[in-house]
Structure 1
């Protein structure tokens, strides 16, 4: 499968670095509208050491962070916001539908629904094998570093 952006290219867009860079690659971007990205969840993730021993589960807040990173890539790849930083302004209606465990592949969808100046809203979903693992609405703010 051809990647729209590799992990190295992702690092050229967003400031996140290990251990808090969760996007492995970007599958597709519909400029200024929607992104599909991928996170391969492995047993080597730091968070599995404590969440939970004997029953490793990806924390829900980190699934939301991964969605936010996908959204940041979409936002910062637009001509309007290149060279800026995207921040989470709010998270609404977050729902967690199933556990995410080592070996899962998270497909991340972030779709912008509204923008006004440097503020916008989006709907985001993380799926595993086409089943929703988590979903929410984000408010984002774009600013200088």
Structure 2
């Protein structure tokens, strides 16, 4: 893929010079432990609503042992989770949705074009196409390893109704206790 077709030129992104580390990501994203799918934020362009992050893929990822034994391939759903987390980080940091939490609303036109394995740095690129406050965000995304496009598509993010989820979890716990 020609560099001009990337959301941001991966050659300009340096994993050794992040602009935000995992602690800064945690200020905006609730995921913890094995569900944290970003290592650091590499770039933000507020004029174009584009951003980049990376996930350093290690032998210690929760999926390595079982997906697939002897040939560990990062599951596509985990790649999509990295995209969702970058989209959420950017949306929350800049209060584009006006929500306490952003959730996965869906993905469209997703294509997996390569593999991601331990030892790789998965660079995630996101460009917001639409942000409707209180309703949804729509973002184009790409995943890159080296100079190879491994993932692309469109993501929708929606506000998570925290109060309703909390009530539902409370009701589930009460019925389990009785």
TM-score for both structures, normalised by structure 2: 0.76
Q: Kindly tell me the number of residue pairs found equivalent between the two proteins.
A: 145
Shift of 1:81: 4.6
Q: Within 5 A, what are the aligned runs for 1:19-98?
A: 19-31=34-46, 33-81=49-97, 84-98=100-114
CA–CA separation in structure 2 for the residues paired with 1:144 and 1:4:
30
Higher fraction of strand: 1
Higher fraction of helix: 2
Residue number in structure 2 paired with 1:124: 141
Rg bigger for which structure?
2
8 Å contact from structure 2 (residues 96, 133) kept in 1: no
Q: Unpaired runs of 5+ in structure 1? A: none
Residue number in structure 1 paired with 2:151: 134
Please, which moves more after superposition, 84-93 or 30-39?
30-39
Q: Structure 1's 80 and 59: CA in aligned 2 closer, same or farther, altered over 3 A?
A: closer
CA–CA separation in structure 2 for the residues paired with 1:68 and 1:95:
15
Q: Cα RMSD (Å) of the superposition? A: 1.6
Q: Secondary structure of the equivalent of 2:78?
A: helix
TM-score for both structures, normalised by structure 1: 0.93
Q: Unpaired runs of 5+ in structure 2? A: 1-15, 163-178
Question: Is 1:106 paired with 2:122?
Answer: yes
Q: Structure 1's 82 and 60: CA in aligned 2 closer, same or farther, altered over 3 A?
A: same
Q: Secondary structure of the equivalent of 2:68?
A: coil
CA–CA separation in structure 2 for the residues paired with 1:83 and 1:143:
7
Deviations 1:64-98 (A, max 9, x none): 11111111111001144577211111100110001
8 Å contact from structure 2 (residues 55, 123) kept in 1: yes
Match of 1:13 among 28, 42, 65: 28
Q: Secondary structure of the equivalent of 1:114?
A: strand
